[in-house]
């Protein structure tokens, strides 16, 4: 049970990081100056 919860949290964290990286890439592609990338 604990392993399932930990795996879910890790997977969710990875998905969120990839999603936010997508925002970063689109901003850069549109010419927006990005000073910092964080999740």
Asked whether the whole model's pTM tops 0.85, one would answer no
| DSSP code of residue 30 | T
Dist CA 35 CA 28 (whole Å): 11
For 12, the token pair is 């969710």
pLDDT at 18: 97
pLDDT tens, 7-33? 999 999 999 999 999 999 999 999 999
Residues tagged active-site: 20
């Amino acid at each position: 049970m604990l392993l399932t919860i930990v795996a879910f949290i890790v997977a969710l964290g990875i998905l969120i990081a990839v999603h936010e990286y997508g925002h970063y890439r689109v901003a850069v592609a549109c010419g927006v100056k990005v000073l910092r990338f964080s999740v």
